[in-house]
Amino acid sequence: MQVLTRAGEEWNHVEFTLDDSFAERLRQLRTLVPPLNNLNRGRDLVIDKVRVRLPSAVWRCDGAGEAATEVDGSSIVIAAEGFFNCGGKKRGSREKLVTYTFPIARLIELHAERADGEVFFLRNGIFTNDEPANSSAGRWAASLHLGDAPHAHEAVTDFDTMPGSPVSLRHPEPAGSAPAQRVLN
């Protein structure tokens, strides 16, 4: 996913792995954020967003190339409207890093219908994989210099959970099948 910063370099992005467990966690977290309706409008406090740590994300915001940026508070925010975005702060400068929002339902739909192992590119809140190579979105994806070599962060995909949480960190896998994984940029 493209990352917005004050400097605005186009190659700034965050990578994380999207698999069946991740998609299910997004669905579960979305249910924690109730829609704003007449029942809860009159209340003093209403949850409108949920922020969850995303420790396995790799932020690349220090110039073009493959060097990872050290980020504090790497997280994903799920809003009541059904959208999510990622955020964090650069460790050295304390600069706020944030992505455009993207619909959770569309991400899960793309995960279900696209080929296993496909890298998703989200730029300006738009899925850009199907854009022509000579378009600005196609050139942006090419500028990320993503090779076919797996990154170290692909092994861990779970959200942080509180100690003692009833939600298990790993979902059981059917015998002989590997979960579909995709890297989200």
Q: Among 38-42, 58-62, 88-92, 148-152, where is mean pLDDT lowest? A: 148-152
Prediction pTM value: 0.70
Chain center to CA of 11: 16
pLDDT confidence of residue 103: 92
- Determine the Cα–Cα distance for residues 56 and 73; give it in Å rounded to an integer: 11
Instruction: Report phi then psi at 57, rounded to 5.
Output: -70, 145
CA 100 to chain centre: 10
Rounded to whole angstroms, how far apart are CA atoms 34 and 90?
31
Which of the four pLDDT bands, split at 50, 70 and 90, describes residue 84?
A: very high
Residue owning tokens 């590997």: 178
Residue 75 has pLDDT above 90, yes or no: yes
Q: How far apart are CA 173 and CA 5, in angstroms?
A: 39
**Cα 73 to Cα 152: distance, rounded to the nearest angstrom:** 19
Paired residues of 70 in beta bridges: none
Q: Is residue 171's pLDDT more than 50?
A: no
Q: What is the pLDDT of residues 131-144, one digit of tens each?
A: 888 888 888 877 77
